Each structure stands twice: as structure tokens, then as C-alpha cells.
Structure 1
């Protein structure tokens, strides 16, 4: 029998990262670890960073880093076009873009020649917020900066990637994305970095948290899009009307509503119970998760919140609203602590009930630790390969 000496095509992927900084509060920090896992599987990756503050110090034979040097509104897209065109000539035919619609539009422009397939990832129920803005300068600027670019991308991208599963119906039915080109892809979590701590005492001492206190943790951007001030500090004020002086609440996150939240907390005299910490570098955020006892996620708009799988990986019981695709992420028991996003009183009541029930906390913790494995970096890296390269 004749042997087949044909060479298997090399898998090549361009990954466009919107920005990178070593001490960034954003979840882009996670991407590097994911790309290592994909590269370990034999994929050659060209990592293009639009805004690069620090050298990511990647040392992998299958990953090359291209940091853009231009910063102008016209010069940066032109530079990116040149980079993508050059990579296409070197055999790169697939480009993955996360969230950045302007990078996606640049990639789409290159794809007109037929040399690139564009995979654009987006997950978030923000259309209702955009539509609700009263007509005026803010709405016009939001349309030009966000809505119009998104509408162009959804029309012309080769593939529209989102997750979890229910977000496909949202983008198809609400946002008008062609359902036939929607692909499902999960966010990932590094289970080596996010895991249950055996020594809360030492971590609390390091972070200046009183050892005797139990911790309610919130991690997210504080913004009008998520209606942060609708939920907080109201939920926590209602919670502290009960006998829960053994709990403190730690609120981590920056954003437009952070200062106002701090002012409300101070005016209510709750600064000893509610600690508004501001933003925290993502590369150390796991330490706060590991000191916590309950995680809360009150939000009005959402897609696939990475903070939930971070909390699950550390074994935290969770109370959350039902925004976006959250219901797909959680297990059966944990879904009992998901409330309607309009009902902040139910949220407060669920928090009181969970804080009073140690057995339920343990059951939710065990369920989350088991379920979160499906979102591990190793599993999601294989999802990337299967979706993009079809094997």
C-alpha cells in the first residue's frame, strides 16, 4: 500500500487583543494563559496587541507578539491593516477579535480580498441600555462609537462568536445577527490560579481583613450600564438590618458609579461594614476571592460574566441576577439563588437566607467546584481549536 507523505496543513491563528497591561484590572490578563494552551496544541499564533502598556514576556515557540506602535484614530487602524495584510501573505487565514469592533472592521476590510476569515466575539445585553438613552449628545456619541460599528461588524464578519448558549437567541432575535453564522464559545478560567485556599487566615492578614469576619465579595465594574447604584448599597443595607454583624462586604471595581457609591456608604455610616476598594489588578484578584465566603453578582446587563466562573473556581456560593446568559452557567442548586434582575428585595432576602445557612453554602460550594471544570482553560482552548479549525 502506498504511504501518504502529504504534509498536514499548519494551523495558524491571528488573535487581536484590545489592550494589555501587567497590572490591568480587566480580564484581558486571562488571555495570555489561554493562548499558551492553544499554542501547546500545535497552533501557530500571531498575537496582535492594539494598546500595549507592558511587554507580556511571552516565551513560546508558537507565539509571536506584535505590539502596535501607532495610537492615532486613523494611524492605528491603518497600521493594523498593514499588519493583518502582511500576516495573510504568510499563510494566516483566520483572525479572532474579542469585543473591539474597530479592530474587527479593519480585519473585515482585509477579508474583502478573500484571504481572512473573521471570528468576532461579543457577549453582553447592552442593546436595551443603548436604546433607553434619551436623544441627545450622549446617545449620538454612543451610536457613533458603539452601535454603528457593532451593526457593521455583525453584518460583515464571517463568524459571530458568543457564549453561553442562550446568548445565541439574544443576538439573533434582539440584535438581528444572522443565526447561521453564530458560534458558541465559553470564557475560560485558570484553575491553577483560581482555587480554594487552605489558609484564609494568612490571606486575610495579608489583605488587612479582620480574621473573625466573614466576607461577602463583589467584583465588577460599577457602571450605569449594569445599574450598579440600583442594587448597591441597597441590597447590603437591607442585609445589615438583620443580625449579620459578623459579615463585612468588600466591593472591588472601578467605574463611573464608584465615587457615588462610596459617598452613599459614607453618608449612611456603613464604611466599617461595606469596604469600597476600587479597582484591583487582575493578577492578584484571586487572593480576595480566596478570603470570601459568599459572592454576589447584582447586574442588569450581562453576557458571560467571567467573575462568576472565578467565584465558582474558588468554591464560593453565589447570589446573582438573571441577566444575559447567567442561567446557562450555573448548576441546579445554584439556580435557586438567581433572582430577577428587577427585584433587588428578593436579592437581599436570598443573601440573608444564604448567610444564615452554612449547609446550603457548602452544597453550593461543592456544586460550583464540580461544574466549573467545564470552563477550565484546557477545555476552552480545545473549544477554540474545534470551532476555528473544525476538528
Structure 2
């Protein structure tokens, strides 16, 4: 396939003169102090990236702070409604071009991406687009509507128009290339990162205090789910999973009462509310709703295990956050999940396999506390060594 945006080579983009630092615009879809999405991780990455790259941040929505560590130029994209935001984005691109920024990194910013493609003949910028995950995974009750088809077509076209399609982890590179029809030579690998200083284990006293504040008893084994409440993330499996684990003889013999705590919002919340209210479950299912990202470290560190029964994933930050917190995880092998936890990790189930998920959780409940702590330490070490902001910043720097 012919690159439809020729004319700017890697050498031209990176270094205008010998010894100069590369410049990059990192487009931030949303950033606020009470951020409940994974965009809350971006400031730590920008701080690490700014040590080697002249970074400009273009924030599309939210209430960002006046300054971000590592960022030389912080711009808030003006405009509220669609037309206003499109014009505001075009104005932002013009200002960034005049400031000498020609390379853009985007994740979920469709409108910004479209503006960059439309204005390429004028500004000759370079576009690095991150995508990971399999959008064609849908629930049995979710039809492939005209709107959904149009979105898939738009995603395919834009993926082919950018200079470089970035994805991760390793498993997702050939999957993304095949899904969007992008030649492998225009694919690049980039990890997600996690700040292991913010997501970290609690000492015994702080953990006991957190569990008391959350209403979790000493005799409870708390299983935490953190994700969007949608079919794709395995939400329909949560209640059956809880029932299968709580009723197991080895769990009853352990003297522990299993509690499932669900953090997140989404279309499946009414279903979960009905399932949680079922008297047969005895209040063992606790729904917290959306939780700001800055409050999640305490939840992860206070829980005994994290479950991610997803049907679809790309590079799940939920696993990174749990691992950095030193909390054992039970996950499916959706997307790149095995790349994240490691090929030797024992608690990975095939997608949709309720029995395997329940078996892994039962094994964790029955295992000695010291063994779970050791497993958590291994996971945290992997998060720190493989997925730190510093390492991911170096990978992104190398892409430039």
C-alpha cells in the first residue's frame, strides 16, 4: 500500500539540526484531577519523556493543571460542540506548527486525528497512532448497527492514513496489522506504563485501616473487579463466578467469606445491581460505581485478589495497576494479557471459561497468605522492571 502522506522522512522529522532534541505533541483526550479513566497515567509518562524529548501536550477535554512535569508547552484545545472543537483543534495544530512541533502521538482522539489528516497538506506533520484491542468482539445482544459499521470503517481508513500505527504488547502487533490492513513495516511496538510509586502495596497497619474504612472484614477474602461494566470485559461472568467460588467446599473450609467488589460504570450496571440485590448472595457483591483513578491504589492494595474475566483486551492497564500494587490477579488470555503477566503466570484462563476462572480463584483463596504475598511481590517486580514510565518513555523516544 502506498503511503498517502509522503514527503517527510524519519530523519527530517527527528532532527532539524545535529544535537537537537526531538519534539513531540502528545494528545491527551481528557485530563482532570478526578480522572476515572486511564488517562491519569499520562502525567507520569510525560514527566519521564520530557527528560529526553521536547514535549507539548494538547489536552482536548477536562480541567488539566496549569503545569505538567516534563511538558514544555501545555495547550488546552478550545471549543465545546463538535464544530467548535474541530475549529479549535485546527487552531491548536496551527499554533503547534508555528512553535516548531511536527510529530503527534495520539491514542483515542478521533476528531484530533481527522483534523491532522485533513491539514497534512498544509503542515506536513507526522502522525503516530496508538491502537490496541479487538473492537469486533461484541455481546450476543449487540447488533452490528450502521453506526458501528461506520465507526469501524473510519477506524480502518484512519489507521491506513497515518505514518505509523503503534500498538502493544507483542501479541497485538500482528493482530492489529491484520485487523486494520496496515503493512508490518509501518507497525511499531510500545508498552503501556504504570507508576509503581503511586500503585504500591500498603504495610500491614495501613492495609488494615483501609479495609476497615471500606467495610471489609478480617474474615473476608476480597476479590476486586475494576473495569468498564460491559460485555466485552466479562461482566456477565461476575455473579456466576462469585457463586461458584463462594460455594466451593475448600472455600467454606477455609473460614473465609468471599466478597466481590466491583468498581466501574457502564451499560451492564443495571444487570449487576439486580444480581447484587439477590438475597441468595447475602450481600457478598458490592458495587462502588466509577472510582477516580487517584483512589484506585488503595482499593488494589487492600484487596486479596483482582479478577479480569475479559472477552476482549489489548494492553490492559488493570493488570498493570494490580501488579504494581502487589495483588495477585486472575485473568483470561484475552488480547495481550499473557504478555503482561508473563507466560509462566499460573492464574490465566481461556476466554469465556468460567470453570477455569473459578478454579483459579478457589486456588488463591485456599493458598497460604505467605504464598499470595510472594506471588504479589513477583508481580510487582515485573511491573517495575518491564512497564515503568521510564522504560516506556525510552521506547517512545526511540520511535521518534
Q: Answer whether TM exceeds 0.5 for this pair.
A: yes
TM-score normalised per structure 1: 0.90
- Work out whether 1:214 is the aligned partner of 2:224: no
Distance (Å, rounded) in 2 between the aligned partners of 1:70 and 1:338: 45
- Work out whether 1:303 is the aligned partner of 2:314: yes
- Work out whether 1:346 is the aligned partner of 2:356: yes
Structure 2: which 5+ residue stretches go unaligned? Answer: 1-16
- What is the CA deviation profile of residues 84-128 of structure 1, one whole-angstrom value per residue up to 9, with x for unaligned ones? 122123211110111222221212222234621101111111223
Q: Which residue of 1 aligns with 2:159?
A: 154
Post-superposition offset of 1:152? 1.7
Distance (Å, rounded) in 1 between the aligned partners of 2:54 and 2:294: 26
Q: Counterpart of 2:295 in 1: which secondary structure?
A: coil
- Work out whether 1:120 is the aligned partner of 2:112: no
Q: Which residue of 2 aligns with 1:190?
A: 195
Distance (Å, rounded) in 1 between the aligned partners of 2:139 and 2:258: 37
- Work out whether 1:32 is the aligned partner of 2:43: yes
Structure 1: which 5+ residue stretches go unaligned? Answer: 1-5
Distance (Å, rounded) in 1 between the aligned partners of 2:330 and 2:40: 25
Contact 1:188-1:380 within 8 A present in 2 as well: yes
Q: Where do 4+ consecutive residues of structure 1 move more than 6 Å?
A: none
- Work out whether 1:10 is the aligned partner of 2:21: yes
Q: Which residue of 2 aligns with 1:91?
A: 100
Post-superposition offset of 1:273? 1.2
Contact 1:251-1:278 within 8 A present in 2 as well: yes
Q: Which residue of 1 aligns with 2:274?
A: 263
Change (3 A) 1:130 1:294: closer
TM-score normalised per structure 2: 0.88
1:387 pairs with one of 371, 374, 399:
399
Post-superposition offset of 1:360? 4.6
Distance (Å, rounded) in 2 between the aligned partners of 1:153 and 1:90: 26
Distance (Å, rounded) in 1 between the aligned partners of 2:309 and 2:396: 30
Contact 1:117-1:158 within 8 A present in 2 as well: yes
Contact 1:101-1:149 within 8 A present in 2 as well: no
Contact 1:130-1:142 within 8 A present in 2 as well: no
How many residues are matched?
375
- What is the CA deviation profile of residues 9-58 of structure 1, one whole-angstrom value per residue up to 9, with x for unaligned ones? 2321111111122112101111112111111x142222111112x23232
Post-superposition offset of 1:267? 2.0
Post-superposition offset of 1:355? 1.2
Q: Counterpart of 2:247 in 1: which secondary structure?
A: coil
1:109 pairs with one of 100, 118, 122:
118
103-112 vs 343-352, which moves further: 103-112
